[in-house]
Structure 1
Amino acid sequence: MLKQAKGRIGRNAVLLALFEEEEEGKITAHLDNLQWRYCKGKVGSMELQKIVASVETAAKRNNVVNGELYREMHALYHAVVEAVQGVTRGQVELGDLMRTVGLRFAVVRGNPYENSKEGEWIAVALYGTIGAPIRGLEHETIGLGINHI
């Protein structure tokens, strides 16, 4: 069974991605209290591999995942791809379709289940804009990916 709402890993990742820097104090204190690992970052690109690379680099640099362990990197990769599918509405293409994104991202790792034997999970939230590569011709978008480690 999942923990209470405040222990939901996807919810926490989305909130962390949505909050501006001056607003994030409560959510980061909450994540620290849960003893969960997390990081935030920004990426803008017309290339999907740059989004994946930015999220993976931030997660490794902030010790959210161990880059030496395939299992952890594989779980992170699948969470990122799932989040990108939400951002792109299922068509995981950007530049070839003349679309670009400007995103804030959050990666949260923790144990969202009451039974600790369920193990750790990782959530990736992406929030920002998507549209034509012309300023003003974009709209908001959001994506969430969750995977077990």
Structure 2
Amino acid sequence: MSLAEQKRIGKIAMLYVLDEGRQESVEELGWIHCSGKVGSMESNKIVAAIETAAKKNEVINGSVYRETHALYHAIMEALHGVTRGQVQLGTVLRTVGLRFTVVRGQPYEQPEEGEWIAVALYGTIGAPVKGLEHEAIGLGINHI
């Protein structure tokens, strides 16, 4: 099993969310992707926005449970990074403003390793008062 250097799905997703000009590197690999923005004091709204974008842009097939399940776990892992392990927002008076990218592809040289999905988040988190936030970043990767 070998992870190809030029196919590091997490690195590609992170670079894409930080610099939307990286889109062409995802497309060169023939991988599926989408991106968007979400802001909320409720984590369920963040999950819903990312899942909706992934389904709408056909990154996942919403009628196949394992694809939705894989995406959900990648989102939750990325949220753990943004929220420093405590996926709580509004209940502890925190809000986020995030850009997200979802990338789906085959990062391993062996096709038997199948497809993987990466969710990258970048933005701000803090008190629900403009100017009282700081940057945050998160990454989640899961096999499909």
Query: For this structure pair, what is the TM-score category when the shorter chain's length is used for normalisation?
Result: over 0.9
Percent pairwise identity: 66
Secondary structure class of the residue paired with 1:139: strand
Check if 1:10 corresponds to 2:5.
Answer: no
Q: Give the CA deviation at 1:37.
A: 0.3
- Aligned residue pairs total 143
Partners of 1:92 and 1:32 lie apart in 2 by 32
Partners of 2:16 and 2:24 lie apart in 1 by 11
Match of 1:54 in 2: 49
Provide Cα deviations, 1:17-53, integer angstroms capped at 9, x if missing partner: 1114xxx1xx222211111000000000000000000
Q: Which AA in structure 1 matches 2:13?
A: A
Match of 2:27 in 1: 32
- Residue segments in structure 2 that go unaligned for 5+ positions in a row: none
Provide Cα deviations, 1:56-97, integer angstroms capped at 9, x if missing partner: 000001110000000000000000000000000001100000
Provide Cα deviations, 1:85-124, integer angstroms capped at 9, x if missing partner: 0000001100000000000000000000011100000000
Partners of 2:91 and 2:57 lie apart in 1 by 32
Partners of 2:128 and 2:98 lie apart in 1 by 14
Check if 1:75 corresponds to 2:70.
Answer: yes
The equivalences for 1:1-149 within 5 A come to 1-4=2-5, 6-20=6-20, 24=21, 27-149=22-144
Partners of 1:30 and 1:134 lie apart in 2 by 37
- Runs of 4+ in structure 1 over 6 Å off: none
Partners of 1:102 and 1:53 lie apart in 2 by 15
- Residue segments in structure 1 that go unaligned for 5+ positions in a row: none
TM-score for both structures, normalised by structure 1 = 0.94
TM-score for both structures, normalised by structure 2 = 0.97
